[in-house]
Each structure stands twice: as structure tokens, then as C-alpha cells.
Amino acid sequence: MTLTGKVAIVTGSGRGLGLAYAQELARQGASVVINDVDESTAATAVDSIVSAGGHATAVVAPVGPTETAKALVDAAFDTYGRLDIVVTNAGVLRDTVLWKMSDDDFDTVIGVHLRGTFTVVREAATRLREQGEGGRIIAIGSPTGQRGNFGQTNYAAAKAGIVGMVRTWAMELKKAGITVNAVIPVAATAMTATVPYFAAAVEADEKGEPMPAFFRHDLGFGTSADVAGLVAYLASDAAAGVTGQAVGIGGDRLQLWSHPEPVATAYREGGWTYEALTESFADAVGELQTVGESFPPLPEALQRG
């Protein structure tokens, strides 16, 4: 098994995508520190790995505060004697349009996703550098962070911020042999179950039936297990040369996201005054960029409700 002897932390791994990542890392031989705020799902997650012959322990605590980050890294070292892989997956949603979003909606989402990723990776990177044997950091982004989404100010900020941190950490941790990548997943979980557009796919998944090809292929929308293989790959020695990347995955689809690059560049001697921009902006920059994700119309047979 490719990850035998390795030790991983997966935040928010009581259920959903985090659980699938933890189970796949364990299947590949890694010992896993499970983390969740929900004690019973954390315990069930540990049981699922142990009963399949793997090794797992749980830390029940909310990511965000530095104390939790320390508790997670301590659990890896105290229980298994080392640390190799960190997956920062824990997340919550507080969706609403900007003008209805409270300070608490904003702070909660930023606290779990952005601060939770920062504090856990800061603690892990410190200890991985001391250990001196390289490592793997896998942070979780979202299509919303890449392109924006209606009603998700807080989440878009957090997820875009995570990819910004990933690019920075890939540079800062390169010398220590620690790779840092973002996974941009799409999957049927509690987080997506209520989106009407995906209802037919979620319905098939719940019945244990294969999801329609329209979802798996055209939309890159599948199960949590479809995402887990990429996390195990990025955690492995095979991906030693992959760092600073944002990799999209879902259903049958794998994508490499570009980093922002200027798409049009124009020069004007003396600089771009208001008058010059008023006259020439449209010609100088060309076609404007789109925002948000655009989904194709749902085939009639897959429409629900």
C-alpha cells in the first residue's frame, strides 16, 4: 500500500467528503486522525476505518482556534509518532445575499474554512519542518472560490483565500519538501443535497443507483468516493512533483484550474488617465470576464419538483 507508515490528519472527517478522504487514505495504509465537531459521527468514522483493518483516532473539537490545531497535530505525534499528510476539509455554509449577511454569518464561515485552514496548516507545517521528512498539505477549495456564486459572499471569500494561501505556502514550504495543493471538489453530500438542480443525482445516490451520466460527465458531479482518489494521489510519493496547484474533481471529471493571469495587456505612454480610459478601455481590454458557474439546462428527464 502506497501510504503504509504515513500519518494523516483530516479535518471535518465525520461525514461527507472528509470521511471519504479519511477512509481512502486509511485504505492506502495511512493512520488517520479523524476530526469533527460532532462526537458521534467522529466515533462512527473511526469505527469504519478500524473495522476495515485500518488505524484511526478522533479529536472532537472545532477547527478555527489554534488550540484545536495543536490538539490535532499532538494527536498525530502522540498516537502514531509522526505526521505526513494534512487535509483541511472542515466546512460550514451560511448562505444569503450580501445585504442580508450578518457579521456572524461572515465570521463563522471565515473562521471555520479560512482561519481553520490557516491555523491547522501553520501548526502542521511547523512540526513537519522540524520532522524534516517533507510532507503533504491538501487544502479544500470550491468552484465558488474560483468563480464566485450568488448568495455566498462569506464562502467565496474563504475559498478564494484558501487557494491564495496554497500558492503562497507552495513557495514557502518547497525547500522543506512539503507539497501544498488545493482540491476543488464537487460531490453529493449534505452540503449539496438541498440544491434543486442536483436532486435527481442525489436521489440516485441515495437509492444506491449510479448517477446519470449527465451529472457525472457533463457537470463533474458524483459521489464523495469519486473525489477521494485524488486526495490519496496528492498525498502519495507519486505526486512529489505536484505543488501549488488547484485541481478540480467530481464524477468522471478531472480538471486543472488556471491561476489568474492577465488576459489582456495594453500600454499607453504617460499612463492611463480617466480620459484615455473613457475613450479606449473597451478596445484596450477586449472581451470582459464572466463571473459565476454556468450550468447547462437540465434534461427534462432529470428535472424534479
Is there a catalytic annotation at residue 274?
Answer: no
Q: In the bound complex, what is the minimum distance in angstroms from residue 218's beta carbon to ligand NAD?
A: 16
Give the C-alpha separation, 3 to 1, whole Å.
Answer: 6
* Catalytic residue, candidates 155, 197, 233, 274: 155
Q: In the bound complex, what is the minimum distance in angstroms from residue 286's beta carbon to ligand NAD?
A: 31
**What distance separates the 2 farthest-apart alpha carbons in the chain?**
70
Q: Is residue 89 within 8 Å of residue 10, measured between CB atoms?
A: yes
Q: Is 266 in a helix, a strand, or coil?
A: coil
125 CA to centre of own chain: 18
Q: In the bound complex, what is the minimum distance in angstroms from residue 150's beta carbon to ligand NAD?
A: 15
Compare residues 31 and 189 and give the one whose CB is closer to ligand NAD: 189
Give the C-alpha separation, 160 to 291, whole Å.
Answer: 13
Compare residues 80 and 155 and give the one whose CB is closer to ligand NAD: 155
Compare residues 12 and 54 and give the one whose CB is closer to ligand NAD: 12
Q: In the bound complex, what is the minimum distance in angstroms from residue 61's beta carbon to ligand NAD?
A: 7
Give the C-alpha separation, 85 to 128, whole Å.
Answer: 9
Concatenate the DSSP letters of all residues of 20-64 into one string: HHHHHHHHTT-EEEEEES-HHHHHHHHHHHHHTT-EEEEEE--SS
Compare residues 58 and 278 and give the one whose CB is closer to ligand NAD: 58
Residues that bind ligand NAD (CB under 6 A): 11-12, 14-18, 35-38, 41, 62-64, 89-92, 112, 116, 140, 142, 185-187, 189-192
Residue nearest to ligand NAD (CB): 16
Give the pairing of strands 253-256 and 246-250: antiparallel
Q: In the bound complex, what is the minimum distance in angstroms from residue 100's beta carbon to ligand NAD?
A: 20
Q: Determine the residue type at 254.
A: L
Cell numbers 480538471 correspond to: 255
CA-closest candidate to residue 162, choices 176, 143, 177: 143
CA distances from 205 to 71, 149, 216, 223 (A): 35, 25, 11, 8
Compare residues 54 and 185 and give the one whose CB is closer to ligand NAD: 185
Give the C-alpha separation, 30 to 234, whole Å.
Answer: 13
Compare residues 1 and 222 and give the one whose CB is closer to ligand NAD: 222
Q: Is 250 in a helix, a strand, or coil?
A: strand
Q: In the bound complex, what is the minimum distance in angstroms from residue 40's beta carbon to ligand NAD?
A: 10
Give the pairing of strands 178-185 and 246-250: parallel
Which residues are designated catalytic? 155
